[in-house]
Chain A
Amino acid sequence: TQLLEQSPQFLSIQEGENLTVYCNSSSVFSSLQWYRQEPGEGPVLLVTVVTGGEVKKLKRLTFQFGDARKDSSLHITAAQPGDTGLYLCAGDSEGSGYALNFGKGTSLLVTP
């Protein structure tokens, strides 16, 4: 099992602030995904990154995959209360083909 370390574990900010959360591993991943989970719901896929150095944008969210495909970051610009939730990264390691390895998540609270 490849470990995915997410940081910070908790983040509480005010509306309008910027933030970055990180997902790091010592293993190489063929792809890495970010999910957001709201209370009482299952995780929902936000994005998949597959190429080292790749940057993807989803409105105010920017996702980056590290050059070596071992780490990723999620940057949120001008956070809004609707961004509140648990952000999970999940890696699909080279040749595993069956299971995702999930990080423990970053819990984000954005207050008005």
Chain B
Amino acid sequence: DADVTQTPRNRITKTGKRIMLECSQTKGHDRMYWYRQDPGLGLRLIYYSFDVKDINKGEISDGYSVSRQAQAKFSLSLESAIPNQTALYFCATSDWGTSYSSYNEQFFGPGTRLTVL
């Protein structure tokens, strides 16, 4: 079974709709991240969370919100989707800062391809 799962894998929606992307992990990591990937722009950080009570904005958080429901679950919401939010979205986890890892090595889910019409 995959360690980091994302649902849905593909989603087509219309402008103005509210969308939630979900991420679950079985790696037991405290740190979770949401990125978006656009052709020619690489991976950009949207939000990150160090634990259930610690959520922080990343480089491009405008238009997005997140919820950390449990250590294993981190959801990304688009309150009112717009076409320029069409992208690949990735969730990632890390155990950086623990006794098991001294480096911010990240483990990614398979991604969600979101299209906003």
Contact = CB atoms under 8 A, between A and B. Distances in A.
A17 B104 CA distance: 33
B16 interface: no
A102 B43 contact: yes
A109 B77 CA distance: 35
A43 B108 contact: yes
Q: Which of A90, A92, A100, A105 has the most chain B CB atoms inside 10 A of its CB?
A: A100
Contacts of B97: 97
A48 interface: yes
Question: Which range contains the number of B residues in contact with the other chain?
Answer: 20 to 34
B45 A45 contact: no
B103 A105 contact: no
A42 B104 contact: no
A50 B103 contact: yes
A40 B110 contact: yes
Contact of B45 (A30, A48, A99): A99
Contacts of A102: 42-44
Interface string A13-48: 000000000000000001101010000111111001
B58 A41 contact: no
Contacts of B48: 98-99
Interface of B: 4, 33, 40-45, 48, 50, 56, 58-59, 90, 92, 96-97, 103-111
